[in-house]
Structure 1
Amino acid sequence: MKTENNSLQFKTNINCGGCIAKVTPFLNDAKGIFQWEVDTENKDKILTIKTDGITKEEIIEKVQEAGFKIESLN
């Protein structure tokens, strides 16, 4: 059985380990996220999410629920 993993990228203001810790439960509890990471070294703090069924809108909602700014890059 092959699962298709799509990768979505977002510009965020998640800029440190504490921020990542704060957003982790929101992203880990979201159904349809296969894997995610934030590049805090990048000036745009790029959040990359490998999806397995979650929509861009749902990801944006989750990150905003955690209290962060987010905008889609793709």
Structure 2
Amino acid sequence: MDTMQFKTNIKCSGCIAAVTPALNEAAGKDNWEVDLQSADKILTVTAATTEGEKIKEAIEKAGYKAEQVA
């Protein structure tokens, strides 16, 4: 399994609800989480065959920003 992290502007549970369909499609259900307590609002994705660019595009399509950090 690969683990990727993205700095995002996802700030609340409402934002998470907005990106959930796109992230579930791109990464798979239960393969991602956003740390809302982190100052950088880090999204961590753990999936076997997911490309970072695909995740970034899914987040941006939902109206948010993402920058891969790891």
Q: Same fold (TM over 0.5)?
A: yes
Query: Structure 2 length as normaliser, TM-score?
Result: 0.92
TM-score normalized with structure 1 length: 0.87
- Which ranges in structure 2 are unaligned for 5 or more consecutive residues? none
Task: Work out whether 1:71 is the aligned partner of 2:67.
Answer: yes
Aligned to 2:58: 62
Deviations along 1:10-41, whole A, 9 cap, x unmatched? 000001000000000001122x5461000001
Larger radius of gyration: 1
Question: How many residues end up aligned between the 2 structures?
Answer: 69
Q: Which has the higher helix share?
A: 2
Report the Cα distance in structure 2 between the residues aligned to 1:42 and 1:25, rounded to whole angstroms.
22
Q: Percent identity?
A: 48
Alignment-derived partner of residue 50 in structure 1: 46
